[in-house]
């Protein structure tokens, strides 16, 4: 497939953005909204590439950005998410409100990597360094970071919309179990039963209800029209909330006290 240049390079500015350029971009997006990045520069009177405008807006000008130092909680969350997702910075950023993928990526490379090394943990595999050194796969993990990391995750149910890379080789159950055991040693509070639905309830009575919830309901997007499972609305709504309605677990098995928003969680790469 041929690729056309994203912009006319001869007449575009590069490098750091000026205050005036920022103001123009902000004003334009406030008036017209995000999108149509290719045509935006011309419409906004900017001598910039559309990609450059998009990056500038997403990483620095968006009003909902948090800025400032990362907290200890954010550090730990990033480490946990990276152990599960690998270098999927956009997915990790989706779990940290106000943080961008670029910001997290930079922070990872400059701070967290070092932090993990000081703890004696390999930042690529999240395994103890001495173990990584003696592990037969150690050499390959560095070249296929994402694939290898993702392979330590198991899926307990069929997983639609996942690429081949992301789907664990179910034939290798034994290795998978070992990987989970290792992960539990590092993160004892982390539920590694990754699934695209609420976690399996331990209570047998609730399990009966849980097993009859359709995919649509499990994502919390049920409507009378869309739902094709055998449950009625009350069962679905009750099953998706726990005794403490403000606390739950997202699909990564992470405890959350906010409403689940799966829209920002893409697994299509």
**Nearer to DNA by C-beta: 59 or 156?**
59
**What DSSP element (H or E) covers 260?**
none
**Nearer to DNA by C-beta: 17 or 28?**
17
Beta bridge partners of residue 154, listed in sequence order: 193
User: DSSP strand E in 177-244: where?
Assistant: 193-194
Give how far the C-alpha of residue 218 lies from the chain's centroid of Cα atoms, to the nearest Å: 19
Q: How far is the CB of 263 from DNA (least distance, A)?
A: 12
Q: Cα angle vertex 143, ends 194, 126, to 5°?
A: 45
Q: How far is the CB of 70 from DNA (least distance, A)?
A: 9
Q: How far is the CB of 16 from DNA (least distance, A)?
A: 4
In 3D, which of 38, 242, 107 has the Cα closest to residue 96? Answer: 107
- Residue that the structure tokens 């999108």 belong to: 35
Which residues are near DNA by CB under 7 A? 1-4, 6, 13-17, 35-39, 49-52, 54-56, 59-60, 87-91, 101-103, 105-107, 109-111, 114, 145-146, 163, 266, 268-269
**Positive/negative CA dihedral, 93, 98, 102, 104:** negative
Q: How far is the CB of 249 from DNA (least distance, A)?
A: 23
**Nearer to DNA by C-beta: 59 or 130?**
59
Q: How far is the CB of 115 from DNA (least distance, A)?
A: 10
**Nearer to DNA by C-beta: 147 or 242?**
147
Beta bridge partners of residue 155, listed in sequence order: 194
- CA 257 vs CA 23, 116, 123: distances in Å: 36, 27, 28
**Nearer to DNA by C-beta: 53 or 217?**
53
| Phi, psi for residue 164 in degrees, rounded to 5 | -60, -40
Cβ 257 vs Cβ 246: under 8 Å: yes
**Nearer to DNA by C-beta: 90 or 231?**
90
Q: Tell me the C-alpha distance between 55 and 61, whole Å.
A: 9
Q: Are strands 255-256 and 154-155 parallel, antiparallel or unpaired?
A: unpaired
Find the radius of gyration of the CA atoms of the chain: 22
Q: How far is the CB of 152 from DNA (least distance, A)?
A: 17
DSSP 176: H
**Nearer to DNA by C-beta: 174 or 263?**
263
Q: How far is the CB of 41 from DNA (least distance, A)?
A: 10
């Amino acid at each position: 497939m041929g690729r056309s240049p994203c912009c006319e390079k001869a007449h575009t500015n590069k490098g750091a953005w000026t205050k005036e350029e920022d103001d123009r971009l902000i004003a334009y997006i406030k008036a017209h909204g995000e999108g149509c990045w290719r045509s935006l520069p011309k419409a906004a009177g900017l001598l910039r590439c559309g990609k450059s405008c998009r990056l500038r807006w997403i990483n620095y000008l968006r009003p909902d950005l948090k800025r400032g130092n990362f907290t200890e909680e954010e550090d730990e969350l990033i480490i946990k998410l990276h152990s599960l997702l690998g270098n999927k910075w956009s997915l990790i950023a989706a779990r940290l409100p106000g943080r961008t993928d670029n910001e997290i990526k930079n922070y990872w490379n400059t701070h967290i990597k070092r932090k993990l090394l000081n703890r004696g943990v390999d930042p690529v595999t999240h395994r103890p360094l001495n173990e990584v050194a003696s592990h037969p796969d150690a050499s390959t993990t560095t070249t296929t970071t994402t694939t290898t990391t993702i392979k330590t995750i198991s899926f307990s149910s069929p997983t639609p919309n996942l690429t081949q890379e992301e789907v664990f080789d179910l034939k290798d159950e034994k290795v998978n179990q070992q990987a989970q055991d290792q992960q539990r040693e590092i993160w004892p509070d982390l539920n590694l039963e990754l699934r695209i639905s609420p976690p399996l309830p331990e209570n047998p009575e609730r399990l009966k209800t849980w097993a009859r919830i359709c995919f649509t309901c499990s994502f919390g997007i049920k409507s009378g029209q869309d739902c094709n499972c055998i449950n009625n609305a009350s069962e679905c709504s009750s099953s998706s909330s726990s005794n403490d309605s403000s606390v739950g677990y997202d699909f990564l098995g992470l405890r959350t006290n906010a409403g689940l928003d799966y829209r920002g969680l893409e697994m299509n790469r």
